[in-house]
Amino acid sequence: MDNMTVTEEWETSILATKTKVHHRNALKYFEEFLKKNPEEMLELRSKEGKRFITRIVQFYQWLQNKKSLSSNTSRSYIIGLQSFFAYYDLPLKLKNKLPKMHMKIERYRPSLEDLQKLYRFSDLQTKAWLSLSRDVPGRMSDLLRITHEQIEQGEFMLLSGKENVIGKCYVTEATRELFKQCSASGIELPKTGRGINIMLERACKVAGISKINQHLLRKVWISKAIDLGLSEIVIKVLTFKSVDESMLTYWLNRTELRDHWKKVVGALPLEATRVYVRLPSIEEAVELVMEVQKQELLGKVKKLWSEKHGKYTSTGSGEILGLMLTQPDFEKMTPKELLKKYLELLKET
């Protein structure tokens, strides 16, 4: 470490790559704000003591006013600075000095119909990613570390990169089949978060729905789990959230954990259920139409029959040419039988 700069030494202590990049950006912004390099920052912090805290507050305001960053993003960069100064035993005590990060209010959360539409219009690689995201409600960085071998296993443990928490993962047969198809076709999924975001954004445009990101997909899973009444501990184990270590060990080995997972996955089918309706045959269709027209046809048959067989006919000499016949019970005839009788009577005309 003797040959490292103060920045390089500090960054070496940060294990998560994403966190390292975020904190490095925070330090670069602070360099721009103070117009001092990291070594000079440490010297100024040591010299000014509590007065330096005022500079941090001003930096927080500068990020929003000059860089147009949100309050949450600005606050997250302050956390990066706290990491830097704490590493060199110069912690920033900011209690009640800055507002806390607040929960982001989502203006849009995809419905099941949105997800099914997105899946229906997606290509094979996007289908595979959506199916994996439905099975494993992890963060983008976690899903990108899942291997084909783990997917094929169908059940495995995964260590979350952000919170360093072990979670239990299950994969459906449908997801395994999609990844097999991708491999057989030589199709590879994007290997970076940016690549996945571009893929999802393109798919959303094709499907004609609002933009969906990985964070929203995870929220849909958690919301459905809550709606289904899953306990908080089960949801945390399945979504890689911090849990008391003793409870985590207990639940990771519980066989019913899979049943809880299946309950949520079963309530989030990516393929809409097809309803097959048997169309009637031509004969059945005719019967249906005739049933509707039965009363009108019945009247016509009775009238024609009465004209043909319902009275005596004779010559001028009194010879009987026809005898009155008993009228058939047309009421009991089917529409098909009535139509047949109607056609016979017409022929007699």
Q: Tally the residues of the chain.
A: 349
pTM of structure: 0.57
Q: Number of C-alpha atoms within 13 angstroms, CB side, residue 182?
A: 22
State how far the Cα of 66 lies from the Cα of 76, in Å rounded to an integer.
16
Amino acid letter for position 16: A
pLDDT of residue 27: 95
Q: Does domain 112-266 have CATH number 1.10.443.10?
A: yes
Mean pLDDT by 10 residues, the chain (349 residues): 86 85 93 95 93 93 91 90 94 84 65 93 94 94 93 90 81 96 92 92 91 91 93 88 75 82 95 61 61 70 75 44 61 77 74
Amino acid at 241: K
Work out whether the CA dihedral 263, 149, 138, 194 comes out positive or negative.
Answer: negative
Asked if residue 317 lies in contact with residue 272, where contact means CB atoms within 8 angstroms, the answer is: no
What integer pLDDT is reported at residue 195 of this predicted model? Answer: 93
Q: What per-residue confidence (pLDDT) applies to 269?
A: 95
- Residue 5: phi and psi, rounded to 5, are -75, 170
CA distances from 91 to 79, 99, 226, 253 (A): 11, 18, 39, 40
